[in-house]
Amino acid sequence: MPGKGFRTPGLESFVDNLDEFKLERSTEVLIQLLARRQISGSKNCAIAVAGLLLRIVQDSPANSVQDLLDQVSQIGQRLIAAQPRELAVGNIVRRVLGLIREVSGIGQDDEIRSELSSMLDGQDGLNRPEMLHSISTYSPLRHAASEFTGASTPESPQPIKRPNFAQSGYSSFAMPSTKTAMNLFGLLAEPSYSPTGTPPITNRESPALSTKNLNIIQEQASIKETIQEIGDGMRELLDEVDLAAEQISESATDYINSNDMIMAQGLSDTTHKFLAEAARKRKFTVFVVEGEPNEGQATRNMILYGSAKSPSDDDGQEGTTKRLVDLGVNVVLIPDSAIFAIMSTVTKVLLAPQAVLANGGLVANVGTSMIAAAAQAHKVPVLALSGVYKLSPLYPLDTDELREIGSASGLGGSVGSWGKVNVMNPMWDYVEPEKVNLYITNLGGHAPSYLYRIVADHYDKEDINLGTDM
């Protein structure tokens, strides 16, 4: 970057330069950064992607919402392909797409939507909880809403247009299929509206034929406002990602008691904030599992300096974070091998996942699965701290896909001369949902079995298959 001196490529430099360069260039830069892991960690990736998409949306030349959706979707797929195992990238892309759909649907069909939603609510036997409108709500009506935003949406399913009560009998038939959990193949998720769809055709034709041109003009005028609202929504999303750790830590004292012996898997930013918040009112001990070979250095630095980089590193800075030891917490560093030995005295386990999957399982630094297994063997509760932005709508149908092998040179060097030896350094572990007791998110605590609901609340089912060739 001319005139700026050398800056380590990473999140800070990317975000700083985002306004200067053209969109194409910024996109290319981000794809490179992701592919080379110069931006790593779910929070950093989320912020970078959200920042880029915000600019893209704001400067978008799209004339219609559908064009905007297509543009974002294409860029999103390229970003996901750059680093497929960094699920946060895909999460943010899907959130943005869902946001676009939601915002562009607002103000168009409010009355019909509310009428239909009340009808449908009354129909199904299940008690659906009140859903906040500001957080993207999942309802089959979204598909109806999207119908009205674009003149050309041939692939969208037929809308539910049921002006009279008599047809509601069919709606309950359609309802269960729409509420089934979404999965990778989307097999069960497509609602079959055909049993209900008698009036739609007749209803659609007239507005399309007579007011087609009028619609287009209306869209062009309203697209600017829509983009404004989308931009606002995306800034909220960025805030959510930024503040997730703090919001999670607000409930810390609910979960940590005095004289607790807590085992923390590594000391990520979220975990550190959580424990720091609890330390204000509680005295406890934390066993920090080192996480060699990938996270060991960062963990040790976090304990000693309060930040993942030591002051002697290039981009390390003097720790402004108060270290846990300064806050009165007893911190004991233990190697991974000591986990089972220590577990008999541990009262809680804190995990910091890299990604959370829709079935309630999680992906975290290697070694986490044995922490969870040892905790289960000793009946110790396992708490996972993760912002909702880490929650992916994907199901781990093949856990081998999650496996990623890192550099084996970090394995401490060899002793003497070795013959032909296969040295492996896997980076991630998958933990089954049965081993996790509670997810503490910025929206509160949830059981792993409930996460599918939160997924449903935050992502549109059309976006789930984004970037995956299924």
Partner 1 sequence: MASQPTTSSEAPPSKSSEQSKSAESSAPPAASSSTAPVATATPEAPKLSGAELKKRAKAEKQAKRAAAKAGGQGDGHPEASQPKKDTPQKGSQKKGQQQPRQSAGAQQKGKQQSKGQEAGAVSQAKKEVDIPLRAAPKSTPDNRVFRQFSIYRRTSLENINKDVHPAVLAFGLQLSSYQICGSTARCIGMLKCFKSVIRDYTIPPDNTLARHFIPHCLSAQVEYIKSARPTSIGMGNAIRHLKDAIVKVDPEMPEADAKAHLLEVIDTFINERIRAADTVIVNAAVAKIKDGDIILTYANSSIIKKVLLAAHARGKKFITIVVDSKPLYEGKYLVQDLSNAGLETEYVLVAAIAHVMPRATKVLLGAHAMMADGRLFSRIGTAVVGLAAHERHIPCIVCCESYKFTERVYVDSYAGNELAPSEELLPHDSEREAWRREMEVKPQLQVLNLLYDLTPAEYVDMIVTELGNLPPSSVPAILRMLEGKAA
Burial class (CB in 10 A: 0-12, 13-18, 19+), 77: middle
The number of residues making up the chain comes to: 470
Contact with partner 1 (CB under 8 A) among 166, 209, 424, 470:
424
Tell which one of 109, 147, 277, 429 touches partner 1 (CB under 8 A).
429
Which residue in the set 62, 119, 184, 338 belongs to the binding site for partner 1 (CB under 8 A)? 338
Nearer to partner 1, 315 or 326 (CB): 326
Please, is 20 exposed, middle or buried when counting C-beta atoms within 10 Å of its C-beta (0-12, 13-18, 19+)?
exposed
In sequence order, which residues have a C-beta less than 8 Å from that of residue 302 and are 6 or more positions away?
266, 267, 272, 308
Does 275 contact partner 1 by CB under 8 A? no
Contact predicate 71/60, CB 8 Å: yes
226 close to 103: Cβ distance less than 8 angstroms: yes
Instruction: Classify residue 84 as exposed, middle or buried by CB count within 10 Å of its CB (0-12, 13-18, 19+).
Output: middle
Beta bridge pairs of residue 349 = 263, 382
Selected from 15, 151, 304, 438, the binder of partner 1 by CB under 8 A is: 304
- Does the footprint of partner 1 cover residue 411 (CB under 8 A)? yes
Report the alpha-carbon distance of residue 9 to residue 313 in Å, rounded: 15
Q: Which of 107, 169, 207, 426 binds partner 1 (CB under 8 A)?
A: 426
For residue 130, what is the DSSP state? P
User: Token match 């049921």: residue?
Assistant: 162
How many residues make contact with partner 1 (CB under 8 A)? 54
Site for partner 1 in 308-327 (CB under 8 A): 312, 325-326
Residues 43-82 that bind partner 1 (CB under 8 A): none
Is residue 48 classed as helix, strand or coil in its secondary structure?
helix
Site string for partner 1, 191-210 (x = CB under 8 A): --------------------
Strand duo 261-265 + 348-351: pairing? parallel
Q: Which of 71, 215, 257, 369 binds partner 1 (CB under 8 A)?
A: 369
Among 15, 18, 151, 342, binds partner 1 (CB under 8 A): 342
Residue closer to partner 1, measured from CB, 291 or 396: 291
Interface residues toward partner 1, by CB under 8 A: 285, 287, 290-293, 300, 303-304, 312, 325-326, 328-342, 344-345, 366-367, 369-370, 373-374, 377, 403, 411-412, 414-426, 429-430
